[in-house]
Amino acid sequence: MQWHMLDLQPGQRWDVFCRVVDNFGDVGVCWRLCSALAARGQAVRLWIDDASALAWMAPLGAPGVQVQPWAGALQADHPGDVVVEAFGCHLPDAYIARMAAQPVAPVWINLEYLSAEAYVDRCHGLRSPQFNGPGAGLDKWFFYPGFTPATGGLLQHPPAPKAADASAWLAQRGWAPAAGERAVLLFGYASPALEWLLAALAGLSMRQPTLLWVPQGPLQAQLAGLPLPHGLRLQPLPWLALADFDWLLAAADLKLVRGEDSFVRAQLLGAGPVLWQIYPQDDGAHAPKLDAWLDHSLAGSPPGLAAAVRQAHHVANGLAPGPLQLPDLAAWRAQHLAWQTGLHARADLAIQLLAFASSRRARKSG
Ligand code: TRH
């Protein structure tokens, strides 16, 4: 599809650039952003260096979103009105030069990784004037997702599915919990703490048996090689579309999630509390990042519960020795639901990004 056809749609033309570093978070976040913008009448091109995961994440695509190979941007006729550089992925020089040559320069936004750390409040919305290179004279703007009103918020698209619809979807596939069974989603990285987690879940299943939904990934492979404690039943899953992954998040009684996109979705969807396996970084930067999120999400919780949730996260992430003890599930669920209500009350990231881009554009042409 050519740009002039997209011009028929209301809204602006967006170019979103994504490089897949590893795993699926980069593509998951970028796809969710593109489809959220398109759902609000924007015409979006997603320039991506490896679109292979989209074959199962978004097999039907999304109206208004064109997926383009990264290299195609070198020949792009003219840049979008708004250009999003996801996670500092470095736009091609030739494309930047074309941005600089426009009579009205596009709004150039660097979308950062999510963090609850304090620097995010300070850095969100900052301008970075470009003094050198093909973009000299342009401004780049930093846009930070986050949990506070001073940040760009979280992507809340699409809206949460209903629990009853999730149950029906699971039943159709034969993945529904049996009567009286608890359902736990285990979407994580391979981890030495997995055995502690299984032991903790087995402890819970003395009162109520537990079904483990295990999506594709290294944890599924690791689980296949471990003896499963009594009371736990394993349901390995195939690759699922993002929209289908939501059913699991909506229905689970407890959710181990990882990275960024499943972590955000798990907080927004369903009543089951969240155990976050954070993306580990060689320099240890994940430890303060995890604690910053715990500080925010546990603020105001009963001290005993807060300590138990924090300890479970530290053990699950290899930041404290085992064994892993799961917090009381009813109290944890109440804390999760209170946190979730607060998140739903905040402005969606796509809406904030639209407003931000419009204000920068007005400033440019004004
Ligand atoms: O895959 P992740 O670990 O992703 C990332 C990236 O690797 C990135 O480099 C890193 O910086 C970032 O973490 C912090 O976890 P995440 O973010 O949860 O992404 C997984 C996505 O895959 C999520 O959108 C859910 C989706 N998914 C499905 O839609 N269906 C599936 O069947 C599976 C297994 C995953």
pLDDT in the model for residue 10: 57
pTM of the model as a whole:
0.95
What is the 158 CA–ligand 1 centroid distance (Å)? 17
Q: Whose CA is nearest to atom 5 of ligand 1?
A: 25
Q: Measured between alpha carbons, how far is 149 from 243 in angstroms, rounded to an integer? A: 27
Least confident of 47-56, 76-85, 230-239: 76-85
C-alpha to C-alpha distances, 98 to 43, 67, 77, 93, 169, nearest whole angstrom: 19, 20, 9, 9, 47
Q: For ligand 1, is residue 175 a contact (CB within 6 Å)?
A: no
pLDDT in the model for residue 154: 98
pLDDT in the model for residue 163: 87
Radius of gyration in angstroms for the set of CA atoms belonging to the chain, rounded to a whole number: 22
Q: For ligand 1, is residue 140 a contact (CB within 6 Å)?
A: no
Q: Does domain 163-344 have CATH number 3.40.50?
A: yes
CB environment 11-25: b (16+ within 10 A), e (fewer): bbbbbbbbbbeebbb
Q: Which of 262, 286, 293 to mutate to test the pocket of ligand 1 (most atoms within 8 A of CB)?
A: 262
Beta 139-143 vs 127-129: how paired, if at all? Answer: antiparallel
Judged by DSSP in three states, 139 sits in strand
3-152 against 163-344: fold identical: yes
Q: Atom of ligand 1 at shortest distance to CA of 32? A: 24
Q: Whose CA is nearest to atom 13 of ligand 1?
A: 259
Which contacts of 60-67 are long-range, i.e. CB under 8 A and separated by 24 or more positions? 60/241, 62/31, 62/34, 62/35, 62/38, 63/38, 64/6, 64/9, 64/37, 64/38, 64/39, 65/31, 65/34, 65/35, 65/38, 66/1, 66/6
pLDDT in the model for residue 1: 34
77 pLDDT band (50/70/90 cuts)? confident
Q: Which residues are paired to 363 by β-bridges? A: none
Q: Whose CA is nearest to atom 8 of ligand 1?
A: 25
206 pLDDT band (50/70/90 cuts)? confident
Q: For ligand 1, is residue 145 a contact (CB within 6 Å)?
A: no
What is the 273 CA–ligand 1 centroid distance (Å)? 19
- What's the token pair of residue 227? 């003896």
Q: Which residues are catalytic?
A: 26, 260
Q: For ligand 1, is residue 246 a contact (CB within 6 Å)?
A: no
CA angle 228, 231, 232 (to 5 degrees): 50
Q: For ligand 1, is residue 242 a contact (CB within 6 Å)?
A: yes
Indicate the CATH number for domain 3-152: 3.40.50
pLDDT digit string, tens, across residues 291-344: 999 999 999 999 999 999 999 999 999 999 999 999 999 999 999 999 999 999
With tokens 């471990």, the residue in question is 226
So where are the chain's domains? 3-152, 163-344
pLDDT in the model for residue 364: 53
Q: Whose CA is nearest to atom 7 of ligand 1?
A: 23
pLDDT cut 70: percent of the chain above it: 96
pLDDT digit string, tens, across residues 147-205: 999 999 999 999 999 989 999 999 999 999 999 999 999 999 999 999 999 999 999 88
For residue 66, give the amino acid letter.
Q
Q: For ligand 1, is residue 279 a contact (CB within 6 Å)?
A: yes
75 pLDDT band (50/70/90 cuts)? confident
362 C-beta neighbours (distance < 10 Å), count = 10
- pLDDT exceeds 70 at position 142: yes
pLDDT in the model for residue 362: 65
Q: For ligand 1, is residue 28 a contact (CB within 6 Å)?
A: yes
Sign of CA dihedral 302, 305, 308, 312: negative
- What's the token pair of residue 52? 């292979």
Instruction: Report the mean per-residue pLDDT for the chain.
Output: 94
pLDDT digit string, tens, across residues 42-62: 999 999 999 999 999 999 999
- pLDDT exceeds 50 at position 4: no
